[in-house]
Structure 1
Amino acid sequence: MTEFLYIVYEVILPILIIVVLGYIVQLKYNLDLSTLSRLTIFYILPGFIFMTLYRTAIDLGQFLSIFGILIIYAGVSFLIAQVIGHFMGLSRDRQTLFTNSNIFYNAGNYGVPVNDLVFRSDPFAMMTQVMIIIFQNIFVFTYGIVSLSAKDTSKLKAMLGYFKMPIFYAVLLGLLASIFNVNLPSPIESSFEYIRQSMVAIVLFILGAQIAQIKFTRLSKSAFVATLTRLIVGPVMMFPIILIFGLDGIVAQVLLIAAALPSAVNSVIIAQQYTDDSSYAAEIVMMTTLLSPITVSATIFIANIYFG
């Protein structure tokens, strides 16, 4: 119990403080969230991903195996969400939103700070987290778009748009720099390091601001079930997958903790663009985010016991 409270105090509370600050500032000053999102997507996240990959010795085999695990986990999550949604008699659109809220989790704005605090800026732990972010970004801009109703041209344009994003090139250049042991000039490396260090504070603030903009007027039973599925069933499903692949140590801990993260705000953004029921997605994101301090703390505690 003492260790659990320590996790809440040292890991979750610092995160919540910055999120709440972002929430309060957004309510008071109504910041331009579009600009803040662009700041993350086109500046902070690419610089952070590049530096993390650049500074980590990457084992290509392990890189591919983790991606394989994430694909299997996404597939199992999809099937379970489909079964649960079917038994609840959800409409076609709600079934899709219910499923998306479970397979898209907040690996960036929420997962990175948790990883940084839990593993005390361990580069290998953060590299694993970056791989999860990469997978989630690719997944959101492919299946996430296709799964919702939209014109085919809009889907294709949205998916191709991923390859225009700096994140794609940050991943590519970071991998090449790591594999070929490229040494950046000191001024460039220092500049990117400043960007990397700003990641946690800025993305948590933006997460709080994004949550402040989420509006919903009801609390449906199925949204509550989706919340339990994401926060509790998620890590329960990941646990045997980790054991089957024989993983241990930091990689196993990072994957298990990531499986307990709340639903991604991106699921609301996509729903707003492609459906008429975005408030349902907002309910799930809000509830998973509010309840996640309890479940994420418990998952960190369990991960440390079994894989620490």
Structure 2
Amino acid sequence: MIYLSMIFFQIVAPILILLIIGALLQKKFQFNLKALSQLITYCFMPGAVFLNIYETSVDMSVLGQVALFIVFFIGSQMLLSHYIAKWMKLEKKESAVFKNSVVLINSGNYGIPVAQMIFATQPIGVAIQVILVIFQNMTTYTYGLYNLISATKSGREIIRDFLKMPILHALIIGVILNILNVEIPQTIRIPLEHIAEGFIAIALITLGAQLSQIDLKTMINKTIVISCFTRLIVGPAVALCIIYLFRIDGVVAQSLLIASSFPTSRNSSSLALEYDVESNTAAQTVLFSTIVSCLTVTVVIYLSTILFA
């Protein structure tokens, strides 16, 4: 119990405080959230991703384990959300939002900062989270868009948008320089380190600012509660089964289990808003799952340290 409270106060509570700071600042100053989001997407996240990949040596067998886990985990979440939506007899639009809320995970703004705090002395843990972010983005712009299909974007445009993502370029360049053992000049490395160090605070404050604009009045309903239960409780349970199935252990297993416990991605809300499909429900699900995750993620982190010490 003491260790559980230590995890909450040293890892989860600091995240919650930054979210609250972001919400309070947004209420007072009304930031341009699109500009802040672009700053993270085009500057802070690529910088953090590049340095983590550049400085980490990832064994090919580890990459194979991570890839297997991702395929089975995301696939299981797709099937699970599909059959739960059928069981709940949701209408087509509500079903699409429900499926996205379960499958699309906040691996970027929420996941990477958590991983950086937990695995500060074990870069492989952060590197795995970075790989998961890439796969989550691929899922968002394929499966997520398929669920909210619209005539405004063709398959070619979706692929083009994905290939233009800075985080993908940062990952590729980081891998190439890592493999070739290229030393980055200090003149470039120092500002990169400053950018990477600022990512946690900026990402979480921005997330808090975004969540502060969501309507709280109708947040507690059957669809949202079941969605969050599936995402935050069932998701990690399924992930644990997959980890044991493929006999993954150590830091890799710990990182994958924790990554499976993160709340619904804000991208699920953004997509719903863009395509005008139950956008209020999508936004409320993001907020509710983020609030509840403060408790559930704490428990999953604790369990990961016991199971895969």
Please give the TM-score of this superposition, normalised by the length of structure 2: 0.96
Q: Is the 2:105–2:265 contact (alpha carbons within 8 Å) kept by the matching residues of 1?
A: yes
- Show the counterpart of 1:288: 289
Q: Is the 1:67–1:135 contact (alpha carbons within 8 Å) kept by the matching residues of 2?
A: no
Distance 2:153 2:210 in 1: 28
- Show the counterpart of 1:66: 66
User: Which moved further from structure 2: 83-92 or 136-145?
Assistant: 136-145
- Show the counterpart of 1:90: 90
CA-to-aligned-CA distance 1:165-187 (integer Å, 9 cap, x gap): 21121111111111121111121
Q: What's the CA shift for 1:94?
A: 1.2
Question: Where does 1:293-304 land on structure 2 (aligned, <5 Å)?
Answer: 293-304=294-305
Q: Is the 1:232–1:295 contact (alpha carbons within 8 Å) kept by the matching residues of 2?
A: yes
Distance 1:119 1:169 in 2: 24
Distance 1:287 1:153 in 2: 30
Distance 2:85 2:12 in 1: 31
Q: What's the CA shift for 1:228?
A: 0.5
- Amino acid of the residue matched to residue 56 of structure 1? T
Q: What's the CA shift for 1:261?
A: 0.6
Distance 1:80 1:248 in 2: 25
Q: Is the 2:62–2:252 contact (alpha carbons within 8 Å) kept by the matching residues of 1?
A: no
Distance 2:187 2:282 in 1: 44
- Show the counterpart of 2:251: 250
User: Which moved further from structure 2: 39-48 or 60-69?
Assistant: 60-69
Q: What's the CA shift for 1:152?
A: 6.2
- Amino acid of the residue matched to residue 230 of structure 1? R
Distance 1:197 1:230 in 2: 29
- Residue 262, structure 1, aligned to residue 263, structure 2: yes
- Residue 233, structure 1, aligned to residue 234, structure 2: yes
For structure 2, the residue ranges without an aligned partner over 5 or more in a row are none
- Residue 222, structure 1, aligned to residue 223, structure 2: yes
Q: What's the CA shift for 1:221?
A: 0.6
- Amino acid of the residue matched to residue 174 of structure 2? G
- Amino acid of the residue matched to residue 6 of structure 2? Y
Question: Where does 1:163-202 land on structure 2 (aligned, <5 Å)?
Answer: 163-202=163-202
Distance 1:2 1:119 in 2: 20
Cα RMSD (Å): 1.4
Please give the TM-score of this superposition, normalised by the length of structure 1: 0.96
Question: Where does 1:208-219 land on structure 2 (aligned, <5 Å)?
Answer: 208-215=208-215, 217-218=217-218, 219=220
Q: What's the CA shift for 1:95?
A: 1.2
Distance 1:156 1:22 in 2: 36
For structure 1, the residue ranges without an aligned partner over 5 or more in a row are none
- What number of residue pairs does the alignment pair up? 308
- Show the counterpart of 2:128: 128
- Amino acid of the residue matched to residue 42 of structure 2? F
